[in-house]
Structure 1
Amino acid sequence: MRILSFNANGLRSAASKGFFDWFHTQDIDVMAVQETKAQAHQLTDALFNPEGYHVHFRDSTVKKGYSGVALYSRREPDSVLTAMNRPDFDEEGRYIEARFGNLSVVSFYIPSGSSGEVRQGVKEDVMAWLAPHLDEWLASGRDYVLCGDWNIVRSEKDIKNWKSNQKNSGCLPHERAWLNSRIADTHGDGSAQPEHGWHDSFRVARPDDVEYSWWSQRGGSRGKDVGWRIDYQLLTPGLAERVKHAQHFREPYFSDHAPYLLELDWNENT
């Protein structure tokens, strides 16, 4: 199974750069999109609804052209969930989950705090609220793939300018501790990690490699590869054992984020 997670920073913008032409070359089974930045009625063209895929959108209802998530799948989901019963999170279009038997694939978009104290406060409030949900999913017995832009790096390996970003949102010590406290591997920043937790699929496949998933659009950051790894596909333990390959596509350029591909040894009968 090939799962792609992609923060499009505007799905129409990414499409204009040839994203869907590229998508059709990748043999994707499920794609999780973040930041569609469009309403569903603006995405009715066949370009956004490729033949052979079931497409589900969750738009922002509080601000047009903002946030929004989507899921594309070859197999029709048994069910699709679009709300977590937190109005501000749900109304901004930050969660969608497709269920296929015992497998759930989620597209998440965690708020960014980079614009200032108000949004950083929202981000931290969401983190605190989300923690028990992550624990509940982990204990549910379902297989989960949590795809998305988490807006947090895990360690020095995940950001080019480690020292100079210690006071910046996305690299704050307490943010890293929050994320790493839920991931059961040794590739965090040294903060406490659980014995039984989520698995960072990229680190399962490539423990020591350095790849980034986001670059600032200022200062030629992408060309210099001055990036951050803030986009993840987190897995429940049983799926972690099935990881075959993981890769970020720095090129071609469709968005300030790179598409992140995960390949799992999984099929409907697994």
Structure 2
Amino acid sequence: MATPLRIASVNVNGIRAAYRNGMGAWLDARGVDILALQEVRAETEHVTELLGDEWSVLHDAATAKGRAGVALASRGAATIHRVELGAPDFDSAGRWLEADFEVGGRIVTVVSAYVHSGEAGTPKQVEKYKFLDAMQARLPELAAHNELSVVMGDLNVGHRTLDIKNWKGNVKRAGFLPEERAYFDRILGAERDADYNAGAGLGWVDLGRRAAGEVDGPYTWWSARGQAFDNDTGWRIDYQLATPALAASVTSYTVDRAASYSERWSDHAPVVVDYSI
């Protein structure tokens, strides 16, 4: 008999601020089994205190306090976890956290990832490419490690024109640069490939695009400028990327967009996926 598994991922933009603005109520009502967080921007004790005793927490803080930070919280403890990504001299702290979880007699590998935002033509963009290089190199290793693997989080790249409302005005901005989007072509296959998102590239599946189809969005992040949220002028930069075997087990995909601007507790919306393991 299959075991249901609900995994949610969200950039909380500071977990303490998110809880002050209503994250706890959302989490209490959502029935999540594994929760992947990005941009935690807190110490481990803050995370465990806010989530409560019912959660087992893994947290990798950034080298610089108050920056980045990724976490995985689960109803049951992970069997093993890893945080290193890339070359030894590359600082990936607070941006990559892998863990193996036992679910229904199987092992599911979950990664919470927070890719740099970058800035075109600056050293920040160089660091972003270093991270994307390391991530691209790690993905085949992950798939070889476990056929039931998923990488999720704020990956800070809109892969296709469908993923950004105002894409024409952003082709020279970090997050939609051709060089960045090419990484996703290599991971998922290019849009022109017959088997795009179904075995092309490195073989990973973009669960959001598979669920939504060839439509705009659904977006997961909105700028605070103007009325971007109210007008749904957003970016889809939060993903769950799964191996084909795990993708085949998906029963539901949802972006938990807040009902109104005042009800948001982060500038990102949670991505919630139900699996049957």
Q: TM-score, normalised by structure 1?
A: 0.89
Q: Distance in 2 between matches of 1:231 and 1:255?
A: 13
Does the 8 Å contact 2:157/2:176 carry over to 1?
yes
Q: Which moved more, 1:140-149 or 1:22-31?
A: 140-149
Q: Distance in 1 between matches of 2:40 and 2:180?
A: 25
Does the 8 Å contact 2:120/2:172 carry over to 1?
no
Does the 8 Å contact 2:85/2:135 carry over to 1?
no
Residue deviations 1:85-136, cap 9 Å, x none? Answer: 6454333x11111212421011001111138611011101221232221122
Q: Distance in 2 between matches of 1:196 and 1:69?
A: 24
Q: Distance in 2 between matches of 1:34 and 1:223?
A: 24
Q: Distance in 2 between matches of 1:71 and 1:144?
A: 14
Q: Kindly tell me the number of residue pairs found equivalent between the two proteins.
A: 259
Q: TM-score, normalised by structure 2?
A: 0.87
Matches within 5 A, 1:120-135: 120-135=125-140
Does the 8 Å contact 1:39/1:60 carry over to 2?
no
Give unmatched runs, 5+ long, in structure 2: none
Answering whether residue 219 of structure 2 is matched by residue 212 of structure 1, we say yes
Q: Which moved more, 1:189-198 or 1:239-248?
A: 189-198
Match of 1:248 among 236, 255, 270: 255
Q: Distance in 2 between matches of 1:72 and 1:49?
A: 8
- 2:31 aligned residue: 27
Match of 1:260 among 245, 260, 271: 271
Does the 8 Å contact 1:204/1:240 carry over to 2?
no
Q: Which moved more, 1:2-11 or 1:50-59?
A: 50-59
Q: Distance in 1 between matches of 2:214 and 2:67?
A: 35
Runs of 4+ in 1 over 6 A off after TM superposition: none
- 2:9 aligned residue: 5
Does the 8 Å contact 1:156/1:189 carry over to 2?
no
Taking only the aligned residue pairs, the percentage that are identical comes to 36
How many angstroms does 1:195 deviate by? 5.7
- 1:50 aligned residue: 52
Give unmatched runs, 5+ long, in structure 1: none
Does the 8 Å contact 1:110/1:151 carry over to 2?
yes
- 1:164 aligned residue: 169
Q: Distance in 2 between matches of 1:128 and 1:217?
A: 30
What is the RMSD computed on CA atoms of the aligned residues? 2.0
